[in-house]
Amino acid sequence: MKIAVAGTGYVGLVAGVCFAEMNHDVTCVDVDEKKVEIMRQGISPIYEEGLEELIQKNNAKGTLHFTTDYQEAYRDADAIFIGVGTPEMPDGSANLGYIATVSRQIAETIEKDCLVVVKSTVPVGTNDKVEQFIKDFLVHDVKVEVASNPEFLAQGTAVHDTLHAARIIIGTESKEAEALLKEIYEPFGLPIVSVKRRSAEMIKYACNDFLALKISYMNDIANLCELVGADITDVAKGMCYDERIGSRFLNAGIGFGGSCFPKDTKALKFLAKEHGYQLKTVEACVEVNTAQKIRLFEKAKERMISFNGLKVAVLGLTFKAGTDDLREAPSIDNIRLLLQAGADIYAYDPKGVERAKQLFPEGKLEKGSMTYVDSAEEALDKANICFVFTEWPQIKQITPAQFKEKMHTPLVYDGRNLYDPKQMKAAGVEYYSIGR
Dist. CA 153–CA 388, nearest whole Å: 25
Q: Are 380 and 411 in contact (CB under 8 A)?
A: no
Burial per residue of 157-170, b for 16 or more beta-carbon CB atoms within 10 angstroms, e otherwise? ebbebbbebeebbb
Q: Which of 18, 260, 285, 386 is catalytic?
A: 260
Decide if 122 contacts 45 (C-beta within 8 A).
no
Burial of 33 (0-12, 13-18, 19+ CB in 10 A): exposed
CA separation for the pair 246, 241 (Å, rounded): 7
* Half-sphere exposure of residue 181: CA atoms within 13 angstroms, side-chain side: 30
Instruction: Give catalytic status of residue 240 as yes or no.
Output: no
Sign of torsion, CA 388 393 395 401? positive
Residues noted as catalytic: 260
